Amino acid sequence: MTLEKKILSLEEFLQMDKENEHRLEYFDGEVVYLESPSVEHQRVLLNIAAEFRNYFRGKSCEVFISPLDVWLTNKEKTTKVKVQPDLIVICDKTGLMENAYEGVPALVIEIISTSNQAHDRIRKYSTYMEFGINEYWMVNPELKTVEVYVLEEDEYKQAAIYKGSDCAASQIFDGLNIHLKEVFSKN
């Protein structure tokens, strides 16, 4: 996934976003164009989403997959940020709108590829930490790993790196364990 960047005001971005068919993210003036995900990316996302959906069925939190615009907000930040995470878990549903969510998801998952690693590992990692997202998973289909980070005292701490036949375990949702063999299965 190659990323192209452009600087715009929020008003310019909102107009551009309406008229554009590309997936766009906005980081306080900087626009990032996201390419379409690969087949493997979509396969892994679908496998994870199925596991998350099963876990959250009947619970108060809800799972959403990309593309869903997420406007990160909280009381302390005046920065305007719009992202499109691959998967989010929302527990505070007051920010849900018809085509977007405004607020702070409880958990975010990004599926990384060689071409977007810096964006997910640096830009999104620091942004998600700054806005107080409690748990961040980075899924690497190439290495078949899942890295889990949990927010402690306003900083992410790496809880674990899962691989092989491991089960990736959420640190904030008790009993949410995802079998990596299922995540990286091609069937």
Query: Whole-angstrom Cα distance, residue 180 to residue 47?
Result: 10
More confident residue, 66 or 87: 87
Does 118 score more than 80 pLDDT?
no
Q: What is the pLDDT of residue 4?
A: 58
Q: What number is the average pLDDT over the span 103-108?
A: 96
What's the fold here for domain 38-67+84-184? Answer: tt1808, chain A (3.90.1570)
- 144-159 pLDDT, tens per residue? 999 999 999 999 999 9
- Domain spans, the chain: 38-67+84-184
What is the separation of C-alpha 60 from the centre of its chain, rounded to a whole number of angstroms?
A: 19
Report the share of the chain in percent with pLDDT over 70. Answer: 94
Q: What is the pLDDT of residue 68?
A: 92
Q: How confident is the model at residue 1 (pLDDT cuts 50, 70, 90)?
A: very low
CA dihedral 150, 153, 154, 160 (to 10 degrees): -20
- 10-52 pLDDT, tens per residue? 778 878 778 877 788 888 888 887 888 889 999 999 999 999 9
What's the Cα-to-Cα distance from 142 to each of 40, 117, 139, rounded to whole Å? 9, 12, 9
Please provide the average confidence, as pLDDT, over all residues in the chain: 89
